[in-house]
């Protein structure tokens, strides 16, 4: 059929030596930039845009997309090796991937992340080819009421992250939700908990908080107890073992599904599919209590979901011109400055061009895999540097990362503050993941609720008149009931122990 012809023509164009070189360069630059903690994909992509001004439009876009994917993988590298999330979605990888690294399985973590990302990304691109236009139209049906129900659903899944004490887990979620409400209220413009500081009007900033909780918190823990069990990584153990493969495959397929479908909905953001994949894996696992100690499915699923999401998010961008995240907005800006205006117009006016770009997404995924698998051993060797240098180096990069978001020293202080909090909570073994979930879901949850009410002029029944919303709300109730039933037996057991 015609689409397939276009894809083939696009592949042929993308496979020219010059375009391949651009893709390679983009992957390398992107990974390098992404490895720097805090300098996330959006800043990294923006920084490297000027390099592409001197290239032809197609080459420029190929390079930019490669930079984008490279930067995301770079974020994975720092999450696994240093427990510093390179960008928001890498937080989950910190939880499992870093633990794997500490057991000497860092290579396997990076390897499965690369492989899972490749599979997820490729399937997403192929699915994109087939379903782009019709699914995009459907995804537009997701308005504020649907978003509210989706976020609520995500929140109800928090019981899956609780760990030892359910009360502590929910408490941390509530804490995260509260912290996320700091800032100017989105519907009325009232500053909340800001004490007159404009730096707080947009909230505390997800990246400094998360870099503090995980990155600085980890550095402080390392400073306290430096000589923990750092097993030397055997180069032969770079690839995942047979058991790890089996465990990961299911996670990878599920992650692909989650990432792809959520990527079609404009505005979801990369954190949500990543988190949902993690929670899903934990729920259906036969040994959920082992999560947090370094389970490979906890890396495979979320990383795959993340990349499937990133590729699928190109659908609303290319078909509707709607960017799903700040990074994609930057990419869109770069597209436009290079003369390519996203929209269905693009598909009909210059189909070969569009399919060349889509083909290059695929090629970018391949290059990333080829580039990084051999390098994984190299990255893992970083862990063998004496801890003082890793500590100080990471501190410096975290400072740069936090500062460079808005050229603001305030963000450094936020990061330090949460670093201390993260360190203390870590010592007490309080679960951090539910807090992060609360932090992420808070603003969209409240905003979509109140925007829905703006749309309906205060009428709550808007939530009951829309099919997708009702469906998600029912699902949330189901999840809550199932969790309650699961917990009841253990509560009874505890009571009978007294």
Partner 1 sequence: MFKTILGAAAALTLGVSSAFAQTFPDRSINMMVAFPAGGSTDIGARIVSSIAEKLIGQPIVVVNKGGAGGQVGWTDLVRQKPDGYNIGFVNLPATNTAYLDPKRQAIFNEKSFTPIINQVLDPGVVWVAASSPYKSLKDIVDAAKAKPGTVRAATTGILSDDHLAILMLEEAAPGVKFRIVHLLGGAAQMKETLGGNVDVSFDNVGSIVKQVKGGQVRALAVMDTERSKFLPDVPTTKEAGFPTVISSSTRGIAGPKGMKPEVVAKLADVFEKAMKDPEHQKKMDEVGLAVKIMKGDEYKKYFEDTHLKAKKYVEWAQKRSEK
Partner 2 sequence: MKRGWIVASIAFLALFCVTVWESTSYALLDELGPGPGFFPLWLAVIGAILSALLILETARGPADPPDTALVPDREAMFRVLSVIVMMGVGAALLEWLGWRLTALIVTGALLPALGARSPIAIGLFVLAASFGVFHIFYYLLKVPLPIGTFGI
Q: DSSP E strands: which ranges in 127-258?
A: 183-184, 191-192
Which of 2, 188, 243, 495 is close enough to bind partner 1 by CB under 8 A? 188
**Burial letters 277-286, b for 16+ CB under 10 A, else e:** bbbbbbbebe
Which burial class, exposed, middle or buried, applies to 195 when counting CB atoms under 10 A from its CB (0-12, 13-18, 19+)?
A: exposed
Strand-pairing partners, residue 160, are none
Sign of the Cα pseudo-torsion (358, 313, 26, 94, in order): negative
Residue with Cβ nearer partner 2 (180 or 274): 180
Quick one: tokens of 404? 């460079």
CA distance 169 to 166: 5
**Taking CB under 8 A as the rule, does residue 33 contact partner 2?**
yes
Q: Is 222 near partner 1 (CB under 8 A)?
A: no
Contact criterion met (CB below 8 Å) for 214 and 84: yes
Q: How far apart are CA 119 and CA 305, in angstroms?
A: 10
Stretch that binds partner 2, among 305-313, 368-376, 396-404, 467-475 (CB under 8 A): 396-404
Give the count of residues interacting with partner 2 (CB under 8 A): 63
Give CA 413 to chain center in angstroms: 24
Residue closer to partner 1, measured from CB, 345 or 460: 345
Distance CA 98, CA 109 (A): 8
Report what 392 binds from partner 2, partner 1, none; CB cut-off 5-8 Å by kind: partner 2
Our finding on whether 39 is near partner 2 (CB under 8 A) is yes
- Residue 463 per-residue DSSP state: G
With CB under 5 to 8 Å by kind, the binding choice for 242 among partner 2, partner 1, none is none
Q: Report the residue from 235, 336, 409, 474 that binds partner 2 according to the rule CB under 8 A.
A: 409
In whole angstroms, how close is the CB of 354 to partner 1 at the nearest point?
13
Region of 232-240, 244-252, 283-291, 333-341 interacting with partner 1 (CB under 8 A)? 333-341
| 78 membership: H or E segment, kind and range | helix 57-82
208 binds partner 1 (CB under 8 A): no
* 434-493 residues near partner 2, rule: CB under 8 A: 446, 449-450, 453-454, 457-458, 460
Q: According to the binding rule CB under 8 A, does residue 50 interact with partner 2? A: yes
351 binds partner 1 (CB under 8 A): no
Q: Which is nearer to partner 1, 4 or 345 (CB)?
A: 345
In the complex with partner 2, which residue's Cβ is closer, 252 or 390?
A: 390
Considering the rule CB under 8 A, would residue 28 count as an interface residue with partner 2? Answer: no
Find the binding residues for partner 2 in span 333-392 (CB under 8 A).
386-389, 391-392
Closer residue to partner 1 in complex, CB, 17/457: 457
Separation CA 311–CA 458 (nearest Å): 37
Tell me if residue 184 falls in helix, strand or coil: strand
Q: What is the spatial distance between Cα 421 and Cα 43, in angstroms, rounded to a whole number?
A: 27
Residues of this chain that bind partner 1 (CB under 8 A): 42-43, 45-47, 49-50, 140-144, 184, 186-191, 196, 198-199, 201-202, 266-267, 316, 320-324, 326, 329-330, 333, 336-337, 339, 341-346, 405-408, 447, 451, 454-455, 457-458
């Amino acid at each position: 059929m015609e689409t397939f012809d276009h894809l083939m023509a696009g592949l042929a164009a993308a496979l020219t030596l010059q375009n391949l070189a651009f893709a390679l360069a983009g992957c390398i630059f992107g990974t390098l930039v992404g490895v720097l903690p805090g300098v996330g994909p959006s800043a990294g992509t923006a920084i490297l845009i000027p390099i592409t001004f001197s290239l032809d439009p197609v080459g420029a876009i190929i390079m930019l997309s490669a930079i984008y994917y490279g930067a995301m993988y770079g974020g994975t590298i720092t999450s696994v090796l240093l427990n510093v999330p390179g960008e928001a979605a890498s937080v989950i990888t910190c939880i499992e991937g870093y633990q794997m690294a500490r057991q000497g399985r860092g290579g396997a973590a990076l390897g499965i992340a690369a492989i899972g990302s490749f599979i997820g990304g490729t399937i997403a691109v192929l699915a994109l080819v087939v379903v782009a236009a019709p699914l995009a139209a459907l995804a537009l049906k997701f308005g504020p009421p649907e978003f509210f129900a989706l976020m609520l659903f995500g929140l109800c899944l928090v019981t899956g992250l609780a760990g030892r004490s359910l009360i502590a887990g929910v408490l941390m979620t509530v804490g995260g939700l509260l912290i996320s409400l700091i800032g100017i209220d989105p519907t009325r413009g009232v500053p909340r908990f800001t004490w007159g500081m404009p730096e707080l009007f947009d909230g505390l900033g997800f990246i400094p908080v998360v870099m503090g909780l995980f990155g600085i918190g980890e550095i402080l823990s390392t400073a306290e107890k430096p000589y923990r069990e750092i097993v030397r990584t055997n180069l032969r153990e770079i690839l995942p073992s047979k058991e790890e493969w089996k465990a990961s495959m299911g996670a990878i397929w599920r992650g692909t599904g989650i990432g792809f479908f959520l990527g079609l909905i404009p505005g979801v953001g990369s954190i949500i599919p990543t988190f949902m994949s993690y929670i899903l894996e934990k729920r259906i696992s036969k040994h959920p209590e082992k999560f947090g100690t370094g389970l490979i499915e906890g890396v495979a699923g979320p990383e795959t979901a993340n990349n499937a999401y990133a590729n699928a998010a190109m659908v609303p961008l290319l078909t509707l011109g709607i960017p799903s995240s700040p990074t994609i907005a930057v990419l869109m800006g770069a597209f436009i400055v290079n003369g390519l205006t996203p929209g269905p117009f693009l598909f009909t006016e210059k189909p070969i061009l569009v399919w060349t770009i889509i083909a290059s997404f695929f090629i970018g995924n391949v290059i990333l895999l080829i580039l990084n698998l051999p390098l994984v051993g190299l990255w893992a060797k970083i862990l063998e540097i004496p801890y003082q240098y890793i500590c100080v180096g990471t501190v410096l990069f975290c400072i740069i990362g936090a500062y460079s978001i808005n050229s603001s020293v305030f963000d450094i202080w936020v990061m330090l503050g949460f670093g201390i909090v993260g360190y203390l909570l870590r010592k007490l073994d309080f679960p951090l993941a539910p807090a992060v979930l609360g932090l992420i879901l808070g603003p969209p949850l409240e905003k979509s609720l109140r925007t829905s009410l703006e749309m309906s002029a205060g009428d709550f029944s808007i939530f009951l008149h829309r099919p997708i919303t009702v469906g998600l709300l029912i699902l949330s109730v189901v999840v809550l009931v199932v969790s309650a039933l699961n917990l009841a037996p253990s509560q009874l057991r505890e009571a009978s122990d007294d």
